[in-house]
Amino acid sequence: MSLLNLEQALANMLDRLPLPTTQEQISLDQSANRILAEDIFSPLNVPSFDNSAMDGYAVRVEDLAENNTLTVAGKSFAGNPFTQTMAKGQCVRIMTGAKVPAEANAVVMQEDTTVNADGSVTFNCQPKLNQNIRRVGEDIKQGALVLAKGSLLNVTTLPLLASLGIATVSVYPRLKVAILSTGDELVSVGKPLNEGQIYDTNRFAVRLMLEKLNCEIMDYGILPDDPELFEKTFTEAQRTADVLITSGGVSVGEADFTKDVLEKLGEIGFWKIAMKPGKPFAFGRLEKSWFFGLPGNPVSALVTFYQLVQPALLKLAGNTPEKIANFSPNLTAYTSEPLKKSVGRQDFQRGFFYENEQGQLVVKPIGKQGSHIFSAFNESNCFIVLEKDRGNVAVNEKVTIQPFNHLLK
């Protein structure tokens, strides 16, 4: 089997995966971290009335051109507007956010005024037309597109909908994801280790990343390397889950049964991807769910999840194409140390990037780069992405880095 470029694998996969077809109507209060299933147009102008950006006095600019002292006709407070008319030669005491009287065309901040003994106000400078007035619709026009279908409802978007008085939204369903680890050698934390056994790391990594992606998780635990048990469990899991994610058993060892079982149950592609760590990776369709088979090595499992499964789940969850394409954008940095790299696979080395005194981004490789060395992640904040055809990298050469997104923080 020849090696497939990561880019090609990703494109094949995203091409096959559909956007969600169902949606549900939920209250805005319950919508954090959900994906919008509708375009939202503003039902209001924002602001919905002309209001003051300052504490001060609402005036007519023309009046002050003639006489710099005006009498006070009344007050306009936020939530308590001035309801009479402001006659020529008058001003209105006004607070930030309060409605500007219809006759006024500027607000002068109180620091630029003097209140006289008789209650009149003297203005110390000539205001400009419209100064300190936030006009109707200046932020958002009624009917304008506010948020597009596929937007994530988070701290930058959800309050915007609240400011428009939108109480319910249509969102895509949360993805149901079944997970399991395979391997006779695996033991769950809390149990003693016998000779030759190791603790299951991958389910923790996968579960935590799925939580960050706001998926509903169905945890099927550890499966010993037994093809009949695989068949039974996969069949059951895919019945209710949208996606099944396994780890281990996808290479060519004698206990690697994932392949045989999946070929029997569904339509599965086994890929050797030209990436390091990573390489063996399975993607396909079971009767009722999508399937991703991660490699067993914990670093490989994490890297393939991040690079392949993450964008796939973003698409299945209904995110915008822009979000899917930019789930973890790249930067360029100078490497502080030489990097070992063999031609033929795209490397995702772990690194720590920072800005040096000259304001340049520098990246330092962290720890040993083997696919079984998990501890290096802890001190890293990015992947150093080295192109497939590149060889060893000398100190101070430019390299592409991919800062970890929220999944790895």
The site for Mg ion (CB under 5 A) is made up of: 183, 248-249, 296
β-pairing, 398-403 with 382-386? antiparallel
Give 31 or 201: the residue with its C-beta nearer to ligand AMP: 201
- Span interacting with ligand AMP, options 132-140, 198-206, 208-216, 342-350, rule CB under 6 A: 198-206
Judged by CB, which is closer to Mg ion: 76, or 182? 182
Pull the structure tokens for residue 18.
């559909």
Sequence-distant (6+) residues with CB within 8 A of 65 are 126
Amino acid code (one letter) for 52? S
By the rule CB under 6 A, 295 interacts with ligand AMP: yes
Tokens of 179: 């997970």
For the bound state, the minimum distance from the C-beta of residue 188 to ligand AMP, rounded and expressed in Å, comes to 10
Q: Count the alpha carbons within 13 Å of 291 in the hemisphere toward its beta carbon.
A: 29
Interaction of residue 150 with ligand AMP, rule CB under 6 A: no
What is the per-residue binding string for ligand AMP in 317-336, x denoting contact by CB under 6 A? --------------------
Q: CB within 8 A of 285, min separation 6: which ones?
A: 16, 266, 267, 268, 291
- Choose the contact partner of 56 out of Mg ion, ligand AMP, none; CB within 5 to 8 A by kind: none
Calculate the CA dihedral of residues 183, 188, 191, 194 and round it to 10 degrees: 20
Query: Measured from the CB of residue 292, what is the shortest distance to ligand AMP in angstroms?
Result: 14
Q: Is 352 helix (H, G, I), strand (E, B) or coil?
A: strand
For ligand AMP, which residue of 249, 277, 284, 311 counts as binding (CB under 6 A)? 249
Residue nearest to ligand AMP (CB): 296
Confirm if 18 and 285 have CB atoms less than 8 A apart: no
Residue placing its CB nearer to ligand AMP in the complex, 160 or 206: 206
Cβ proximity to ligand AMP, 239 vs 372, nearer residue: 372
Q: Which is nearer to ligand AMP, 90 or 258 (CB)?
A: 258
**At closest approach, how far in Å is the CB of 253 from ligand AMP?**
5
x/- letters, 207..246, toward ligand AMP (CB under 6 A): ----------------------------------------
Q: Are 54 and 181 in contact (CB under 8 A)?
A: no
The beta strand positions in 224-312, using DSSP E, are: 243-247, 267-272, 275-276, 280-285, 290-294
Residue 130 structure tokens: 């419209």
Nearer to ligand AMP among residue 335 and residue 371 (C-beta): 371
Site for ligand AMP contains 253 (CB under 6 A): yes
Position 248 contacts ligand AMP (CB under 6 A):
yes
**CA-to-CA distance for 166 and 161, rounded, in angstroms?**
5
Give, in order, the Cα–Cα distances in Å from 259 to each of 6, 266, 293: 20, 10, 9
Are residues 40 and 166 in contact, defined by beta-carbon separation less than 8 angstroms?
yes
Tell me: does residue 293 bind ligand AMP (CB under 6 A). Answer: no
- Per CB under 6 A, does 38 bind ligand AMP? no
Q: Would you give the DSSP letter of residue 214?
A: T
Could you say whether residue 201 binds ligand AMP (CB under 6 A)? yes
Rounded least distance, CB 386 to ligand AMP, Å:
23
Indicate the length of the chain as a whole number: 409
Where do contacts with ligand AMP occur on this chain (CB under 6 A)? Answer: 181, 183, 185-186, 198, 200-202, 247-251, 253, 256, 295-298
